[in-house]
C-alpha cells in the first residue's frame, strides 16, 4: 500500500533535455507528506469502525463522527489533488 500511495503522490515534470529531447523527471513526495496521508487513512478506518459500532450498539447515527470522517476524506482528497499540480 505504501508504494501505491507514494506512486500516486509522485510528481512527473516534463523538461527539455539536451539536444531538444523531452525528458520526464519524477519528484517523490516528502516523508512528512506520506506519514500524514498514512495517518489520515488510518484515522478514517478507525472512525468508520467506531461509527459502525455506534450504529450496532446504540442504533443511532452519530453526526460528529461522520463529520470527522468527511473532514479527513476532504483532507486526503485535497492532498492528492494539490500534490499533482
Residue 28 has pLDDT above 80, yes or no: yes
Q: How far is CA 36 from CA 18, 27, 31, 40, in A?
A: 37, 18, 9, 6
What's the pTM? 0.80
Q: What is the pLDDT of residues 38-80, one digit of tens each?
A: 999 999 999 999 999 999 999 999 999 999 999 999 999 999 9
H helix or E strand, kind and range, residue 29: none
Q: Is 37 within the bounds of a domain? A: yes
Number of domains in the chain: 1
Q: How far apart are the first and last CA of the chain?
A: 22
Q: Is 24 within the bounds of a domain? A: no
Residue 84 has pLDDT above 90, yes or no: no
Asked if 29 and 9 count as a contact pair (C-beta separation under 8 A), the reply is: yes
Containing structural domain, residue 39:
29-85
Q: Is 84 within the bounds of a domain? A: yes
Q: Is 65 within the bounds of a domain? A: yes
Amino acid at each position: 500500500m505504501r508504494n501505491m500511495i507514494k506512486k500516486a503522490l509522485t510528481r512527473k515534470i516534463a523538461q527539455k533535455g539536451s539536444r531538444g529531447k523531452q525528458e520526464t523527471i519524477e519528484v517523490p513526495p516528502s516523508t512528512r507528506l506520506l506519514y500524514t496521508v498514512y495517518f489520515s487513512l488510518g484515522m478514517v478506518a478507525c472512525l468508520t469502525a467506531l461509527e459502525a459500532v455506534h450504529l450496532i450498539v446504540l442504533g443511532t447515527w452519530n453526526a460528529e463522527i461522520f463529520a470527522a470522517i468527511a473532514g479527513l476524506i476532504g483532507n486526503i482528497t485535497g492532498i492528492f489533488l494539490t500534490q499533482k499540480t
